[in-house]
Structure 1
Amino acid sequence: MRDDETPTTKFPLDAEENVDAEENLDIEEVIDADTDETEGDTSKVSGWGRVLRGNRTLWIVAACAVVSLVAGLLIGHFLISPAEADGDTPEPGLVTVPVEFGSLSNDVTLRADVGYADAVEVTIDTTGTEGRAVVTGQVPAVGATFTPLSIALEVAGRPVIVLPGELPAYRTLRVGVSGPDVLQLKQALASIGINPGDAASDLFDGATADAVGQLYAQAGYPAPSSGEEATASVRSAEEAVRSANDSVSQAQAALDAAGSGPSKVDSWQADVKVAQAEQALADAKAKGEGVQQAEWDLQTARLERDQLWAAKNTSAERAMLDSAYAQVEAANEALETARESVLPFLPSSEVLYLTELPRRVDAVNVKRGDTVSGSSMTVSGATVRLTGAAAEADARLLTAGAEGVFELPDGTEHRAVISALNAGKDSKARWEVLLDPDPLTAEQIQQLQGSNVRVKIAVGATDGDVLSVPLAALTAGPGGESRVEVVESDPREGEDAETRIVVVKTGLAARGAVEVTPIEGELEEGELVVVGR
């Protein structure tokens, strides 16, 4: 110990102080230990922070799911109904519906497309067109209307004239041909006021040719021409007829000359010779000599005179005349044929037969300068039609003439009448139902065109207002009769509720309800009938 150090006296600690010292030591050790652990934990927390920050959305969704699950379990466990709280669960009551009073109808409902009737593709036969079948004009606009005598198109400068008919044009019609297509042409011409001759005949004759000429005149085009060759044939045939007639005249003159008899001089000379022979015979008899010779001379003179007056054989001249007449007949037939060849005719490429005129042009596939090939346009009826489909079971409930209703764009109901029912190809195919609506305004047609509407068609209805109940309310009695159970007390009383049985007669069933008429007991509108327990 140094001299400058002050001596320190150590006093022993009591027990309590020793405990505090130990505790202080322990706390320091703990603090030191905690300090070390905190430094380690800080790095761990930093790592978890990075995990949480990188998947924050996922952790939020997971937390919400856990909270929702816990909340649902708690609500399901602690939430109870008032009846359960009271310890008294009520008995279920009777299921009832009121009796209805009003008209009842059974309807078939279907969907239908709104469009113009009978849309058809128009194909023009251009096989008879000279040169290329180029569209040169008269191209109709979409929405245009075709009527009889309309020009559907102009091809190579020639018109395609619209006429009413079902049979398509498939050949050129000219004098001498016959068939159903000729009959259709005649009927079409008669329908537009042109006289085709005998409209009941299927022969294209001169009168029909004249009518075709009038058709082209009204359409504003010249009738088809047979060309210069046909005209030259007519001129040649006419010259042949004149030559044959000259031959007849010459043959007739030859025949007349051959069969006219002797001239007057020859006849006088023959008579004089006979008279001289008679005088010579008289003189011979008077002299008594040369009588025999005089008789022979007289007989010879008479025979010569008779032969002179006998009919001359004109068979050669008559044969020449018959041949001349045959030549005239042949020449006249050739002339008629030649003249028929230049009469108006109707090429198949210049007529378009359409049914149910007028027709509306829905689409045009060609323009001026195009070559006609395939479908040129689409036309439909000028009237609007609803085209729907129904299952066979529903379709058999419908009839042509039945009325239905559909909604216009403004929500009002509009009437439509079934015009045709077309059965499907097999039992599984749906039937086509065609309906013609009552007249529509141009604005309504524009709004409805191309839309699909719901059509309701009544197939049965009650005569006025009737009582009706759900089909589930009907039960069968011991005798098979129909009956309903009417509740007279509170239906909530369940099996304890007071009820009565009413025997009814059923009628029309529609939309899950059935018409009922009480026959044993009373039944009134508004009364409750049992449909379930």
Structure 2
Amino acid sequence: MTELLEQNVGPRDEEQAPPSGAASRRRLFIALAVASALLATGGVVASTYVKSPGQLAAETKAPPLSMITATVEKRVLSDTVVARGSVEASSQFQVTPLGGGQGAAVQVVTAVHVKTGDAVRPGDVLLEVSGRPLIALPGAVPIYRDLKPGDHGTDVAQLQAALKSLGYPTTGDDGGRFGPATKQAVAKMYAHLGFDHPVTGVDDQAKLKTAQQAVDTAQRQVDALDAQIHAASGTPATTPPGGKSGASGGGESLATQLAYAKKALLSAQDDYRTTVDTTGPMIPISEAVFLPAFPAQVTAFTAKVGDPVKAPLITLSTGRLGVHSQMTPDRAALLKPGMPVEITVTATGKHVAGKITSIGEPSAADAQADGGQGGGSGGGALTSRVTIDPVDDLGPEWAGKDVQLTVTSASSGADVLVVPLSAVSTGADGVASVVKATKDSSGPPTRRVQVVAGLTGGGFVQVTPVRSGELAQGDQVLVSGS
């Protein structure tokens, strides 16, 4: 048993014998096999990094070119112009009061009664400059001077009509003459608005007093001379015809003196009447704006209380609302009066129909040119003012709105063959053509087809094949590639 165990266990490590020759050969074979495998693996890895010139050329060669095509369509083709515009009244008035209250040294906004977009009615006070009002009055003639007592003219007649429409009649004054009744009406209007009425001058009362004193002095002189004459003759105080009764005791007779005194009285009375007629309540040019139609609207006004007066202080508009657009000349050239227009409010999408009524000549305007597609250019650029008249009256809510204008400048009217603009090319001979992709695999992949180009619109162009039947709906035409 002991011997058997010793045979199975074998010698311990430190007691093992040196390897035999067969074992050495076996180990050498294993080492050679591992080395060979490593060399093979390195060759494979190296082969992925080391490439022949042919391999490099094949791998860097451009991929085969592909064709990008579009389908030939048949439909109605329209050419449209899209632009921006704004809704404005037919007439606009820029108003800047030329002076403040009497004695005011600085023109400054002291009160504001309206804002942009507000409706304006006859008799409304829009704002105050240096404590004095700017009053809206009905009338077609712009105010161009102070309207004062004693003035005559169509502008005075217009003022009288405006006062009457507000409930302040001028009955008794001739039409177009600023008389006592007109003065009274002006004074009543200012009192109703809560302002002291302006007067022709701060010394009006002094002038009236002086004129009255002159009349009184002349009257006393007449009375005194008349009394002397009648006392000397012993007759009642009446002057006989010819004024020859009585004497002064030397020099001019009393009758002559009386005649001169009466003449002086008449002159003093005329001066007094003139003073009365030319002084008193008035309408300064700075305190009224006449507008031809009401209600008007405040189109632009940004001043605040305390701001200095700068022109234009306030812009008002009247009349029927229309649409105006500043377009570049090349786009305006596509339009004609009478063309239909779709007017769309940019913010809400609400739209109405209209038509072009006028196209202005190109001019260097300060207004920004239209930028409907591709933008526009600003101040100084040549633009044409295009006016559009809505078919139906626009409500006041449209005033001042920014709108988009869509104008159909041309239409095929019926279905026509159309292709993208990029599909049509023109050769050196001026002949237009498209490249049609063929369906016959045995022949060339493409064939050039001569066409006549027609109407363009929306990136497409109408095409008619020169040879009938060479191009039809559903065909594919080359738009990119080769």
2: distance between equivalents of 1:374 and 1:148? 24
* Cα gap change, 1:228 to 1:189, in 2 (>3 Å): closer
* Cα gap change, 1:244 to 1:147, in 2 (>3 Å): farther
2:71 paired with 1:124:
no
* Cα gap change, 1:233 to 1:519, in 2 (>3 Å): farther
Q: Deviations over 1:93-135 (max 9, x none)?
A: 8966424222x33222224467899888754333552356687
Any idea what SS the aligned residue of 2:382 has? coil
Equivalent residue number for residue 346 of structure 1? 283
The alignment's TM-score, normalised by the length of structure 1, stands at 0.52
Equivalent residue number for residue 297 of structure 2? 359
Equivalent residue number for residue 430 of structure 1? 383
2: distance between equivalents of 1:139 and 1:132? 23
1: distance between equivalents of 2:87 and 2:243? 89
Contact kept? 1:501, 1:521, Cα under 8 Å: no
Q: Deviations over 1:419-461 (max 9, x none)?
A: 774743289533455667776778x769x96xx6643223x23
Aligned-pair distance for 1:150?
0.6
Contact kept? 2:70, 2:478, Cα under 8 Å: yes
> Which of 122, 126, 151 does residue 148 from structure 1 map onto?
122
Contact kept? 2:160, 2:182, Cα under 8 Å: no
> Which of 75, 96, 101 does residue 101 from structure 1 map onto?
75
Aligned-pair distance for 1:149?
1.0
2: distance between equivalents of 1:399 and 1:414? 19
Q: Deviations over 1:212-260 (max 9, x none)?
A: 446436645453345532442453355357458758978982544649x
Contact kept? 1:169, 1:352, Cα under 8 Å: yes
1: distance between equivalents of 2:443 and 2:214? 111
2: distance between equivalents of 1:142 and 1:500? 61
Uncovered stretches (5+) of structure 2, i.e. residues with no partner: 1-16, 25-50, 230-237, 246-251, 366-379
Contact kept? 1:388, 1:433, Cα under 8 Å: yes
Uncovered stretches (5+) of structure 1, i.e. residues with no partner: 1-15, 24-69, 260-314
> Which of 137, 142, 146 does residue 172 from structure 1 map onto?
146
Any idea what SS the aligned residue of 1:430 has? strand
Q: Deviations over 1:332-357 (max 9, x none)?
A: 32022121233421123432456765
> Which of 387, 407, 429 does residue 457 from structure 1 map onto?
407
Aligned-pair distance for 1:151?
0.9
Equivalent residue number for residue 416 of structure 2? 467
* Cα gap change, 1:489 to 1:135, in 2 (>3 Å): closer
2:217 paired with 1:229:
no
AA matched with 1:351:
A
Equivalent residue number for residue 56 of structure 1? none
2: distance between equivalents of 1:344 and 1:351? 14
* Cα gap change, 1:390 to 1:349, in 2 (>3 Å): closer
Equivalent residue number for residue 391 of structure 1? 328
Contact kept? 2:183, 2:280, Cα under 8 Å: yes
Any idea what SS the aligned residue of 2:406 has? strand
Equivalent residue number for residue 526 of structure 1? 473
* Cα gap change, 1:325 to 1:170, in 2 (>3 Å): same
2:100 paired with 1:163:
no
Moved more, 388-397 or 162-171: 162-171
1: distance between equivalents of 2:273 and 2:241? 30
Contact kept? 2:147, 2:284, Cα under 8 Å: yes
Any idea what SS the aligned residue of 1:187 has? helix
AA matched with 1:462:
S
The alignment's TM-score, normalised by the length of structure 2, stands at 0.56
Q: Percent identity?
A: 21
Equivalent residue number for residue 271 of structure 2? 334
1: distance between equivalents of 2:438 and 2:258? 124
1: distance between equivalents of 2:450 and 2:112? 79
* Cα gap change, 1:496 to 1:19, in 2 (>3 Å): closer
AA matched with 1:190:
A
Q: Deviations over 1:490-527 (max 9, x none)?
A: 3777657799878x7x7644345455689985799726
Equivalent residue number for residue 253 of structure 1? 239
Any idea what SS the aligned residue of 1:337 has? helix
Aligned-pair distance for 1:173?
2.6
Aligned-pair distance for 1:473?
5.0
Any idea what SS the aligned residue of 1:223 has? coil
2: distance between equivalents of 1:237 and 1:338? 12
More helix by share: 1
AA matched with 2:278:
S
Any idea what SS the aligned residue of 2:407 has? strand
Aligned alpha-carbon RMSD (Å): 5.8
* Cα gap change, 1:94 to 1:258, in 2 (>3 Å): closer
2:343 paired with 1:405:
yes
Aligned length: 387
* Cα gap change, 1:508 to 1:338, in 2 (>3 Å): same
AA matched with 1:153:
L
Contact kept? 1:140, 1:361, Cα under 8 Å: no
2: distance between equivalents of 1:361 and 1:475? 51
* Cα gap change, 1:491 to 1:235, in 2 (>3 Å): farther
Equivalent residue number for residue 510 of structure 1? 457
Q: Deviations over 1:51-105 (max 9, x none)?
A: xxxxxxxxxxxxxxxxxxx9xxx99967999xx9xxxx89x88966424222x33
2: distance between equivalents of 1:206 and 1:523? 92
1: distance between equivalents of 2:221 and 2:97? 46
* Cα gap change, 1:132 to 1:417, in 2 (>3 Å): farther
Any idea what SS the aligned residue of 1:109 has? strand
2: distance between equivalents of 1:516 and 1:247? 112
Any idea what SS the aligned residue of 2:122 has? coil
Q: Deviations over 1:458-479 (max 9, x none)?
A: 3x23373242434655979x9x
Any idea what SS the aligned residue of 2:79 has? strand
* Cα gap change, 1:163 to 1:486, in 2 (>3 Å): same
2: distance between equivalents of 1:257 and 1:412? 90
